[in-house]
Structure 1
Amino acid sequence: MNFMNVFGIISIVLNILLIILIIIRSPNEQSLQENLAPFQLFESSTKAEESIDKLIRLLTVLYFILGIFYSLQKYF
């Protein structure tokens, strides 16, 4: 498996995770509680919102870093 294939796989997984988190992180608090209630991952919806927001920020930064690195690999 070459290096570019690994970038492609990581990019696909990162995109899927971002889409799922953005769908879960609805501006409607009621919707967030309904989506996460069966999993009982968080103590409250406020903590869930904070955790998901942090995770979205982290994944977005990783997405841009991966994009920059991928562009540099193609350039050189």
Structure 2
Amino acid sequence: MNEVDKVTIRNQSNPNNDIEKVQLSNGDYLTSSDINLIIQEMTTFSSDNGVALSNMEDVRANQNFMTIIVNSWQPA
């Protein structure tokens, strides 16, 4: 069975609604600042390289985006 865990974050740009921390079962985590930095880095990369983001598959299929995300996690 191929299980997929998913978290949808909405309104992260609104300081009243931002997520303080997302933590995995192994203790690794992302803070609100980490999430915002991921968004900024992906937006900059997209703009600089003419990459369109239409859906999550676009992110999963792009090694540069996946590297940005993987390298953003803080160790436990």
TM-score by length of structure 2 reads 0.35
Of structures 1 and 2, the one scoring higher in RCO (CA 8 A, sep 6+) is: 1
**Which of the pair is proportionally richer in helix?**
1
**Which of the pair is proportionally richer in strand?**
2
